[in-house]
Amino acid sequence: MGLKRSMKLRTFFVQYLLALFIGFLMIILIVTGLFLVLLQSGFIISVGDVEASIESQKNAIASAETVSADLIPNTCKYATVSAEGKFLSGNMTEAETSTAWDSIQKGRRSSWGFLGTGFIADCYFPIERKNEFCIVEYSSLSQFSPVILREHLPAPEIVLVWVIIVAFLVEIFLLSKIYGKKISRKLIPLENATEKIRGKDLAFDIQYSGIEEIDSALQSLDSMKAELKRSLEAQWKMEQTRKTQISALAHDLKTPLTVIRGNAEILDDTGQTAEQKECTLYIQKNAEQMEQYIQMLIDLSKVENEYPLKLESTITRAFLDNLYMQINALASMKQIRMETDETDLPDTLCLDASQISRAIINVASNAVDYSPERGTITFSTFNDGQMICFQIVDAGKGFSLTDLKNATNQFYQGDSSRSSKFHYGMGLFIADSIVRQHGGTLTLENKSSTGGGMVIIKIPIQPQGSK
């Protein structure tokens, strides 16, 4: 599937900026239009309207015996002052009056101040009266006609600016959310492809996003997917061939091995010289070694996959007695004595008895291999809360630091201090795999009192989720 027609990522962002700009212009037009409508309706009083009102009242203010608030436009303040600028009356403060008089004397008709919402200019309209002046103060900005709005809101122009800013911020938020969802949808094909490849699901078609840069990455993933699929198929075929060869080899070795051991046993029963008996013993020992080779090949063909478990309720006593019998048989080959210790054991266990037995026997076999002849291995079993623990301690030199780190790895054979010609790096690996399938752990330590190697297997007494 080739790339379909798609846009560049920068085009996508240009669309976003263009939408943002157009939205901003619409906000300005709408808010400005609303301002003009309110201005025309009289809800907002312009500066020109205020000045016209003052001009219309000028003669009345000049000729009035006394100046009162009813002569002054309701958006204005006033003060009467003497010819020397002394405050006489009005609703302006003396400080405001002084500022206004100083500005008028200097030839200015305004002064700047700060109202909390921004800078604003106060304008002054002086009206000459008999032996005094009336100063009318008004804002350089428009005013709301309702008194309550004038008292609690800044000038309409300032409100206009704040409305535009807030509306623009809302626009940015909404457009960012919309375009964020769009780009997220564009990334969905990339996320789906990586998730399927991560899960080794390679039987899917790449769905392209319509964004050139993302589609380029998807095309690379498509090529990688095809190559990975070919590699996995080739690997699977090689693995199947290997397993078939191992199985055939193990089967073919059984026949000559049976012949060799049978003839060795016959020779052992005949009258032989000391030298001949030594040769016969050599044949028997090597036949035993070959049996271990065959078992290793069989195990090797199985360990790639998890062992199918058959969890069943097992009587603890019968399970342990069967283990003791098998371990004693192994230990007797080197005249090794096995000591057992049992503490607070449950009556039954829920496990795959054959698989757990296999794991423990592998550990015990290693313990026998690494213990000197006529030595002692200790097999302890105890209850650890929700877990049953199997602890095997050998009489060898203990695990090295490298052993403690790598002993459960496949094919790891340890250092020379714990070497054995019958050790192929599979026993602990297989045991660890079986234990982990049961939801348990296998740990390696050294017994502090004896220095021997210690392997601890812990598995749940009951499977997780059961009571």
CATH number at 273 reads 1.10.287
What would you report as the CA-atom Rg of the chain, rounded to the nearest whole angstrom? Answer: 49
pLDDT at 116: 41
Q: Are residues 297 and 426 located together in one domain of the fold?
A: no
Q: Are residues 296 and 380 located together in one domain of the fold?
A: no
Name the average pLDDT for the chain: 82
Q: How far is CA 265 from CA 258, 259, 284, 289, in A?
A: 11, 10, 8, 16
pLDDT at 381: 95
| Inside any domain, residue 42 | no
Residue range 153-210, pLDDT digits in tens: 888 888 899 999 999 999 999 999 998 888 888 888 888 878 877 777 777 777 777 7
Q: Residue range 52-81: average pLDDT?
A: 90
Say how far apart CA 73 and CA 389 lie, in whole Å: 98
Q: Are residues 456 and 355 located together in one domain of the fold?
A: yes
Q: Which residues constitute the domain of residue 267?
A: 211-301
Convert 176-207 to b/e letters by CB count within 10 Å (16 or more is b). eeebeeeeeebeebbeebeebbeeeeeeeebe
Say how far apart CA 187 and CA 217 lie, in whole Å: 11
Q: Residue range 89-93: average pLDDT?
A: 91
Going by C-alpha positions, the residue among 76, 59, 207, 223 that lies closest to residue 128 is 59
CATH number at 331 reads 3.30.565.10
The pLDDT of residue 81 is above 60: yes
Q: Are residues 329 and 452 located together in one domain of the fold?
A: yes
As a whole-number percent, the residues of the chain with pLDDT over 90 amount to 25
Q: Are residues 316 and 432 located together in one domain of the fold?
A: yes
The pairing of strands 441-446 and 453-460 is: antiparallel
| Inside any domain, residue 201 | no
Domain boundary among 141, 165, 185: 141
Domain boundary among 301, 334, 357: 301
Going by C-alpha positions, the residue among 290, 299, 364 that lies closest to residue 328 is 364
Structure token digits, residue 139: 């804002």
Q: Are residues 238 and 322 located together in one domain of the fold?
A: no
| Inside any domain, residue 26 | no
Backbone angles phi, psi at 303, to 5 degrees: -70, -15
Q: Are residues 316 and 451 located together in one domain of the fold?
A: yes
- Count: domains in the chain: 3
Identify the band that residue 306 occupies on the pLDDT scale cut at 50, 70 and 90: low
Q: Are residues 413 and 286 located together in one domain of the fold?
A: no
pLDDT at 415: 52
Q: How many CA atoms lie within 13 A of 97 on its CB side?
A: 19
Higher pLDDT, residue 235 or 301: 235
pLDDT at 340: 93
Q: Are residues 336 and 442 located together in one domain of the fold?
A: yes
Query: 150 CB contacts (<8 Å, ≥6 apart)?
Result: 75, 143, 144
Write down the H helix ranges in 333-413: 353-370, 401-406
| Inside any domain, residue 198 | no
DSSP 390-403: EEEE-SSS---HHH
Regarding pTM above 0.75, the answer is no
Write down the H helix ranges in 371-438: 401-406, 427-437
Q: Are residues 317 and 297 located together in one domain of the fold?
A: no
Higher pLDDT, residue 25 or 196: 25
| Residue type at 375 in one-letter notation | G
**64-78, 314-328, 406-420: least confidently modelled range:** 406-420
| Residue type at 259 in one-letter notation | V
Say how far apart CA 361 and CA 51 lie, in whole Å: 108
Domain boundary among 141, 166, 193: 141
SS3 label, residue 123 = strand
DSSP H or E run through 147: helix 147-152
Q: Are residues 272 and 345 located together in one domain of the fold?
A: no
Q: Residue range 363-380: average pLDDT?
A: 89
Q: Are residues 283 and 319 located together in one domain of the fold?
A: no
